[in-house]
Amino acid sequence: MKNVTDGSKKNEDYQNSLKRLSSEVAENINRYNMFSKDSVIPIAFSGGKDSTATILLLKYLGYSIIPVIVDRDDPLFDSSKISLDLKKFWGIKSVIIHLRDENYLTRICPFAASEIREYMRIFDSLGENGSHCTPCYNARTVALSEFALRTRTYVYVLGQHKTDMVTSLMKSYWSEIYWKKYTSTRGIPYDGRRMKELIETSKIDLDYLKEMVKKGRASTDDPPMEYINESVRLVRPLFSVAEKDIEALIRYTKYPATSTNCSYREEEPDPSDSSFN
């Protein structure tokens, strides 16, 4: 891949960052026996910093990769531009899967196609304030798993990092704390604004969290590796990498990574909203 940094000092910093992070990723891959260099590795690619860093690090380690862009026709998600930027900037070709394209759906496994259609139906049936993340994620998972099966790679990669793992672990913790403080004692159901206030005004009880983990009440939704079905594994080789290191790596490259590509991205609740009180 071509160097896109300016100046010898920046290029040196970029190369040092690549070397350090790729060493960490290589250790993760070997530790969990995630995949080998004998086949092409599909990487779920959104054009964001995390999946971009995943491509850079795996290419640096010598893996053959194929970025897979899953498009559900969100107006903010321009899959053609994302694919073109990747080709122009790094010389890497990608595959675009259009979840609503009947030509695609009629060519794949009928069961996978029916699942994708159902998840998209659920997605479309939700109101403006509904939670669109779950059906979207489920449809993408089916599409990526089907791709891994069809190409006989039997694995695909997500670029989730240490912050993602910790965040999902803490979600278990705060959900239980909220339930004890509000729901079980006062009958108050979950409220996002109340949860936000609880998190911002409370200290984390590490002993309590350890006990939750020990007894199986807390776990991460984003483990290093998991089986999607009996044949396909989802792996996260960047699971130990800090988000700030990923951000720094992408800044060195000046690649136009984007994160504003979803019309249903959740926004921070407005504390001034009177319905909170």
* pLDDT tens digits for range 169-220: 888 899 999 999 999 999 998 888 898 899 989 999 999 999 998 888 887 8
Q: What is the pLDDT of residues 76-132, one digit of tens each?
A: 999 999 999 999 999 999 999 999 999 999 999 999 999 999 999 999 998 777 778
Same domain, 79 and 197: no
Report pLDDT for 260: 65
Residue 276 within any structural domain of the chain: no
Residue where the block lists tokens 């794949």: 108
Task: Decide: 90 and 1 in contact? Cβ < 8 Å.
Answer: yes
The verdict on residue 273 lying in a domain is no
94 and 21 in a single domain? The answer is yes
Residues 148 and 17 in one domain: yes
Q: Are residue 51 and residue 122 in the same domain, yes or no? A: yes
219-225-226-230 Cα dihedral, nearest 10 degrees: -160
- Tell me, what's the pLDDT at 166? 87
CATH of the domain at 20: 3.40.50.620
How far is 166 from 62, CA to CA, in rounded Å?
29
Task: Establish if 269 belongs to a structural domain.
Answer: no
Structure tokens, 260: 């504003």
Indicate whether 272 belongs to any domain: no
Domain presence at residue 128: yes
Q: What is the pLDDT of residue 272?
A: 42
Number of Cβ within a 10 Å radius of residue 54: 27
The confidence score (pLDDT) of residue 274 equals 40
Assigned domain for 39 exists: yes
Distances (CA, A) of 42 to 14, 56, 85, 144, 270: 25, 13, 18, 8, 39
Q: Do 109 and 135 fall within a single domain?
A: yes
Rounded CA-CA distance 165/237 in Å is 12
- Based on the fold, state whether residues 199 and 237 are members of the same structural domain: no
pLDDT tens column, 243-262 = 999 999 999 998 999 876 78
- Which residues lie closer than 8 Å to 14 by C-beta, 6 or more apart? 3, 5, 249, 252, 253
* pLDDT band at 275; cut points 50, 70, 90: very low
- Which SS3 state, helix, strand or coil, does residue 270 take? coil
Residues 67, 128, single domain; the answer is: yes
Phi and psi at 18, nearest 5°, equal -60, -45
Residue 206 located in a structural domain: yes
Task: Give 233's strand partners.
Answer: 155, 227
Cβ contacts of 254 within 8 Å, gap of 6 or more: 4, 5, 6
Q: Which residue has the higher pLDDT, 39 or 121?
A: 121
- Predicted pLDDT of residue 266: 55
CA 151 – CA 153 distance, rounded (Å): 6
81 and 152 housed in the same domain = yes
Q: Are residues 42 and 134 in the same domain?
A: yes
Same domain as 98, residue 32: yes
Q: Does any domain span residue 14? A: yes
Domain check: are 75 and 147 in the same one? yes
Q: Do residues 57 and 26 both lie within one domain?
A: yes
The answer for residues whose C-beta is within 8 angstroms of residue 48's C-beta and 6 or more apart is: 159, 257, 258, 259, 261
For the chain, the domain total comes to 2
Range of the domain at 226: 8-160+222-260
